[in-house]
Amino acid sequence: MNREKPLVILTRRLPEGIETRMHELFNLERNEHDEPMSHDALAGAMQRARVLVPTITDRIDAELIAKAGPQLKLIANFGNGTDNIDVGAAMKRGITVTNTPGVLTEDMADFTMALIVAVARRFVEGVRVVPEGNWHGWSPGWMLGHRIHGKRLGIIGMGRIGLAVARRARAFGLQVHYHNRRPAPKRIEEELQATYWDSLDRMLARMDIVTVHCPHTPATFHLLSGRRLKLLKPEAILVNTARGEIVDSDALSEMLETSQLAGAALDVYEHEPAVSSRLVKLAEKGKVALMPHMGSSTVESRNEMGEKVIINIKTFIDGHTPPDRVLMLPGG
């Protein structure tokens, strides 16, 4: 039987090979400008599409979902998280939501370790010296960073990415500590020689390096508040590659400005793509490394994300439950 292809609307351009495959399978409509759609453009797309493929830059809130056309049955997010989508509102409208979990794990873990080393060893400052003509030869007391071998690493959120970071950290000779909603299985703790802290406050006070890998939820908004950031040692380093909303950026800026914290690396921001002028000034002084949300930016991850989106759509259209269907947590 020759069924009509469903209208699938992409809010951003995806890898060429993924779009080609989508053209073969679906009635595909793309955002040719590859810029975030306006609220009105998103509303229009949701009134026409059978399947919407948004990205993490698209805020699919309850208002948009309420205005969606009755034919919209699937929101196939091109992203690991779904904090950009009101999943509860979608479920009430009978709209299925999917994501692309597990694809970014290794790339994010690589990137996190790179940032830890970069901040501790002052790579960001160092790469500027030669091009700017400020290198006049080796000196025993110049550009001194800190060794990471033997230091305590505190991981906030021991999910897929946190676990992958822990494995890399052990290879670098770091001591692994972590805070999570529940302890990891005993075999994991033994493999990583990891120490579980049920109190985030107590863990923060003991760590040399802290890296954030928990999801952004109402419960984790400003999880690292001004009060908690002040628990860190003055020589500690903070790395956030998870979500900007988890860290109070104003409090972090104040601590870096007053040398209450040795350094930080950020790949995500509370109001991105806007970045506070205070953080930018700190970056110019070498106090913080600011990255443009590129932690998952590899050819491999983007293609694998696209493949997951295709599988989720195809499975749904064929009348089955998509493998990456998102369900509300109890109480969510």
**In this structure, what DSSP letter does residue 330 have?**
T
**In this structure, what DSSP letter does residue 325 have?**
B
d(C-alpha 184, C-alpha 172), whole Å: 21
d(C-alpha 299, C-alpha 293), whole Å: 15
Q: In what order do the strands lie in the sheet with 263-266?
A: 195-196, 175-179, 152-156, 209-212, 237-240, 263-266, 288-290
d(C-alpha 173, C-alpha 169), whole Å: 6
Catalytic residue among 13, 21, 167, 293: 293
Integer Rg of the chain from CA: 22
Catalytic residue among 243, 245, 270, 302: 243
- Amino acid identity for residue 175 in this structure: Q
- Are the beta carbons of 287 and 256 closer than 8 angstroms? yes
d(C-alpha 31, C-alpha 11), whole Å: 5
In 3D, which of 214, 97, 104 has the Cα closest to residue 154? 214
* Strand-pair partners of 211: 155, 239
Task: Decide if 272 is catalytic.
Answer: yes
Task: Decide if 39 is catalytic.
Answer: no
Q: What is the phi/psi pair of residue 176, to 5°? A: -95, 125
- The sign of the CA dihedral 34, 36, 41, 43 is positive
The single residue listed with the structure tokens 């052990």 is 170
Catalytic residue among 125, 272, 307, 325: 272
Tokens of 144: 């001194």
Residues with active-site annotation: 243, 272, 293
